[in-house]
Structure 1
Amino acid sequence: MTVPARTFGFVEWFRQGEYERVEDALAGMAAAKATQLRTHLSWAEFYSPGGPEWFDWLIPKLGVAFDLLPCIHYTPPSLSRTGKSSGPPRRLLDYADFVDVILTRYGRHFTHIELWNEPNNLLDWDFTVDHEWLLFCEMIGAAAHWAQERGWKTVLGGPCPFDPNWLELMGQRGVLAKFSAVGLHGFPGTWDSADGSWQGWAEHHREMRRILDRHNPAAEVWITEAGYSTWRHDELGQLRQFLDLLEVPADRLYWYSWQDLAPEVAVQEGHFFDQRHYHLGVVDPAGRQKLLARALTEGGVAKARALSSLAAPSVARPSRPITILGGAGFIGANLAESLLKEGREVLVVDNFSRPGVERNLDWLKREHGERVHVAAVDLRDRQTTAEVVADAGAVFHLAAQVAVTTSLVDPFHDFAVNAQGTLNVLEGLRRTGRKVPAIFASTNKVYGGLEDVAMVEGAEAYAPADAAIRENGIGEWRNLDFCTPYGCSKGVADQYVLDYAKSYGLPTAVLRMSCIYGPRQFGTEDQGWVAHFLIRALRGEPITIYGDGKQVRDILHVADAVAAYRLLLDNIERISGRAFNLGGGPANAVSLRTVLREIERIAGRPLDLSYGDWRQGDQLYFVADTRKLTDTLGWQARTAWREGLDDLARWLQTGEGPVPATGAALAEDAPRHRVPA
């Protein structure tokens, strides 16, 4: 017998004028398989300028898309005994009258109506002027009675924090008898557990059920707010709390919330809470999906369960594993595979924030089973970072915010991940008291934009005017010249890694990478351009080139990159404290136009190309001079770039990657443009 999937909804408060955000949120929540939506219908906002027009647009829009539960709360200050929205109205029946207005105006869009929000919370109901909740009981009882008389079912706002004594009081006063359902709120791991008041969903649900059975056995228990803040960057923790919620035998479940609050948004009447309140969404303020939203969108609750199981830590971690930070990412997964094939124990550390990483981890677990150990850690959390490297035999540090574009939008985030995160790693290693080898993935962006290097523009590509650079590329001899926040954060990390070898004797080394590509890469427009172009070409989707396409990079197959990382670790004692360039070198130096022509051959169809403005920090030319790495360790790039592209294309079409195994045909009416010759 197939057990029906558990339905769930989201809680989302919308502010007046957020028309575009409403449309985006509705589309996102529907894609995440939600069927219900709880939102507020503020009495105070309704009677503010533009209020009726806003709710006339909002409520029908929400009611068409979801099974809607409006929560009617917040007294208009002009009617409040305290002059605030949390105060009781001077005339208590005014609330019932407003409920009547709402039922008449919007009632066709919902079957249940929630009366007030968190009435035992001082910010929502000022019990300092209503010590025994006598005013509340009179106000809410009258409104509930009238709503039921008119044919709607009623939901009592849930207490937060959970308070059985308050609920019992509502039962003794006869309030519970007037409601079809009663709300239950809880935020385990965010506030409740920290305050010591949280006893677990099962216990609070049982306690609530016992109270209702005494006063209104027919009433249902609805979890109207449950959430987990990712303020410590624990997206996997949020996903697991959501899955725990689905096990609660409540009659309805609402997850709080869909989207993080922007930092400038006051929560209620000018109150700005601590940062935990601003990270409760499953997408961030810019709309980026966190792990839970991504899992629900890609495969619903089943995908979320699979990911939770996949990322479960081992019962017994091995002593001294090879620890790969960012180990579920593109290079990290390939590096892990190389080590695992030799029988090594590998600890994969990842925060699972990048789409595609769960596929890479699934592949590693399928192929290598119990020798793949997993820790869901974000390097911005200093304590957990120190814990995860404490037993490491060696560390490959590949975890990063990897896009220049993202760094320009949010430099604080970029710095916290790349610079502060790396310092957390180094300090964690120093605290072990052992000489743990650490290899860091840096970038060619530490050399700046190369604006001082004179270029000659050809028909197909840019080339340096200097013959020596043209022949060998840019070497480690070049001064560091950080540009863009990404270049700065990676450059800072690069230098800290090298200095910890000098200052503390840690055996560290750095690889300053050019463009790495290959299997297990889920490239995007912002990072991983070779895979991104090939993915879109095989799908028959358009490709945007920023600039003129003549910019040159030395692309390197991931197998050659993995070989370099392995060589550095094997020789760490003699190369500690040194940085090396890592790229395809002059033999694999190609312009974007040249790569696109080859991709057109692989796809077997013309490409749909368009051109955009140059992007900040984009170098006209970067080719790594890798002679230092070759002379020191004997490393060479062994995969020619055309051969490497074919290899990537084969993987992309196996079904493991983001392209269907059969590929995708271009639409007949799609505009087609040949790559310029």
Structure 2
Amino acid sequence: MARCLVIGANGFLGSRVVDGLAAAGHDVTGFDRYSAGIRAFETADAVAVTGDFLSPSDVAAAVADAEYVFHFLSTTTPASADRAPTVDLRTNVSATVELLSLCAEAGVRRVFFASSGGAIYGPQPRRVFAEDAPLLPISPYGIGKLTIERYLDYYATTAGLDSVALRISNPYGPRATTSKGQGIIPITLDRIRRGEPAVQVGDGSMVRDYLHVDDLVSRIMRMVERAPRHRAYNLGSGRGHSVAEVLAAVRDVVGYDFDVLRVPQPATFVDHVVLDVSRFRAEYGPDRDLTLTEGIADTWTRMTTP
């Protein structure tokens, strides 16, 4: 079993990765600020290390004994990066380059980086994207993710640091943080639970690839157990659903209609992104993923059950 460090262990995805690694028998350390004094992960077997991602000394101490590092921390969202691109550069990009340098110095065996399965491809005539598709991001968030992927290549070439970019689609499920304004499914369910109208970005035709977090973590655990052969993988369902279809599925799950507040679609949002996941399936086998309705039902049940 490996010594694993999860950066961003108190976040939606990071906390689930902590639990998945611990369940698989790995020695897990979770690095985060834990500013509210609460651990989002459930396992008692993980060691929580409090630190600031923007502090090189904190990060250096955390990576010193790690074999695998899972970088699942982001200081911005697509919307906040749009509002303040320089913040994304100074924090996400710059701090991640520092992290990679420290990993190389510490002799880390492999870095798993949570990249983007949508923003990194950008607007193109094609609607389904394989890993070898052109990378043409137009949003600061996507540009930042691509820049970090290029630094993964740099440290692999110059320092022999093995890494893999996980181009994750639109993950959703229990523990998703709604306060940052990211994730239509958890945000919609949370607003409905509080009696507020759902928010529809654009005219409802925008298409994304949605993947339940349990299915995502299952994929990542398989990549830990058997070393990946490629430098980047699309991790999605391989199916697309429009915003209107998501809201219809939510209506089916909750069993009643709700008001919808329509807001303009930001200029940097891509209209249609579905991930070609054949690379992952060819290497790791097929998946039995939850359908969109099954995943939304699971999320709703776990949100509303005390």
TM-score where L is the length of structure 1: 0.43
3-state DSSP of counterpart to 1:630: helix
Structure 1 residue aligned with 2:229: 575
- Equivalent in the alignment of 2:282: 631
**What residue in structure 1 maps to residue 14 of structure 2?**
332
SS at match of 2:233: strand
Counterparts in 2 of 1:489 and 1:480: CA distance versus 1, 3 Å: same
Secondary structure of 2:275's counterpart equals coil
Q: Name the CA shift for 1:499/1:564 in 2 (closer, same or farther; >3 Å).
A: farther
C-alpha spacing 1:514/1:524, structure 2 compared with 1 (3 Å): farther
In structure 2, C-alpha distance between the alignment counterparts of 1:524 and 1:482, rounded to whole Å: 25
Is this contact kept in 1: 2:7–2:73, CA < 8 A? yes
Matched, 1:596 2:247: yes
The offset of 1:330, in angstroms, is 0.9
Instruction: Kindly provide the amino acid, as one letter, of the partner of residue 616 in structure 1.
Output: A
* Partner of residue 666, structure 1: none
1:380–1:416 CA contact under 8 A, matched in 2: no
1:539 paired with 2:191, answer no
What does the per-residue CA deviation read over 1:66-109, in whole Å, with 9 as the maximum and x for residues that have no partner? xxxxxxxxxxxxxxxxxxxxxxxxxxxxxxxxxxxxxxxxxxxx
Q: 1:585 aligns with which of 238, 250, 274?
A: 238
Partner of 2:183: 528
CA contact (8 A) 2:67 2:108 kept: no
Separation in 1, partners of 2:91, 2:286: 30
- State the match for 1:125 in structure 2: none
Structure 1 equivalent of residue 96 of structure 2: 422
1:613 and 2:267 correspond: no
Q: Which is bigger in relative contact order (C-alpha 8 A, separation at least 6)?
A: 2
* Contact 1:517-1:557 within 8 A present in 2 as well: yes
Q: Match of 2:164?
A: 509
% same residue: 27
The 5 Å alignment of 1:48-197 reads none
Q: 1:395 aligns with which of 69, 72, 77?
A: 69
Q: Secondary structure at the match of 2:293?
A: helix
Alpha-carbon separation, structure 2, partners of 1:402 and 1:591: 24
Distance across 2 between alignment mates of 1:634 and 1:408: 37
Which structure would you say has the larger Rg?
1
CA distance in 1, matches of 2:286, 2:52: 32
Q: Quick check: 1:484 aligned with 2:139?
A: yes
Cα pair distance change 1:621/1:563, threshold 3 Å = same
Q: Give the Å deviation of 1:646.
A: 0.8
**CA-to-aligned-CA distance 1:532-563 (integer Å, 9 cap, x gap):** 11111222211221210111111001111112
User: What value does the CA root-mean-square deviation take over the aligned residues?
Assistant: 2.1
**In 2, Cα distance between equivalents of 1:417 and 1:581:** 25
Q: Kindly provide the CA deviation profile for residues 481-531 of structure 1, in whole angstroms up to 9, marking residues without a partner as x.
A: 121211111111122123322332112111111100111112247312211
Structure 2 stretches lacking a partner, 5+ long: none
CA distance in 1, matches of 2:296, 2:32: 27
Cα distance change, pair 320–476 in 1 and its aligned pair in 2 (3 A)? closer
Cα distance in structure 2, aligned partners of 1:358 and 1:535? 23
Amino acid of the residue matched to residue 211 of structure 2? Answer: L
Matched to 1:439, the amino acid is F
Cross-structure match for 1:648: 299
1:363 is displaced (CA, Å) by: 5.0
Aligned residue identity for 2:229: I
SS of 1:545's equivalent in the other structure is strand
Query: Residues 475 and 598 from structure 1, CA distance in 2 versus in 1: closer, same or farther, beyond 3 angstroms?
Result: same
State how many pairs are aligned: 305
Partners of 1:510 and 1:581 lie apart in 2 by 9
Q: Deviations over 1:412-451 (max 9, x none)?
A: 221122211211111111111x24211110002111133x
State the shift of 1:635 in Å: 4.9
Provide the rounded CA distance (Å) in 2 between the counterparts of 1:404 and 1:435: 29
Deviations 1:278-305 (A, max 9, x none): xxxxxxxxxxxxxxxxxxxxxxxxxxxx
Seen in structure 2, the aligned counterparts of structure 1 residues 430 and 324 have a Cα distance that, compared at 3 Å, is same
Aligned match of 1:406: 80
Q: In the superposition, relative to structure 1, how do residues 407 and 637 fare at CA in structure 2: closer, same or farther (>3 Å)?
A: farther
Q: TM-score, normalised by structure 2?
A: 0.92
After TM superposition, which residue ranges in structure 1, 4 or more long, deviate above 3 angstroms?
A: none
Q: CA–CA distance in 1 between the matches of 2:166 and 2:40?
A: 27
C-alpha distance in 2 between matches for 1:407 and 1:514: 18
1:439 is paired with a residue of what secondary structure?
strand
Give the Cα–Cα distance (whole angstroms) in 1 for the partners of residues 303 and 157 of structure 2: 43
Instruction: Report the Cα offset of residue 652 of structure 1.
Output: 0.5
Contact 1:439 1:568 in 2 (8 A): no
Counterpart of 1:646, as a letter, is A
Query: Relative to 1, partners in 2 of residues 1:442 and 1:363: Cα closer, same or farther, differing over 3 Å?
Result: closer
3-state SS in 2 of match to 1:564: helix
2:214 equivalent in structure 1: 559
Give me the whole-angstrom Cα distance separating, in 2, the residues matched to 1:512 and 1:358.
30
Q: What does residue range 67-466 of structure 1 map to in structure 2 within 5 Å?
A: 321-352=3-34, 359=38, 361=39, 364=42, 368-369=43-44, 371-432=45-106, 434-443=107-116, 444-450=118-124, 452-453=125-126, 464=127
Question: In 2, distance between residues paired with 1:320 and 1:341?
Answer: 13
Distance 1:590 1:358 in 2: 37
**Secondary structure in 1 aligned to 2:178?**
coil
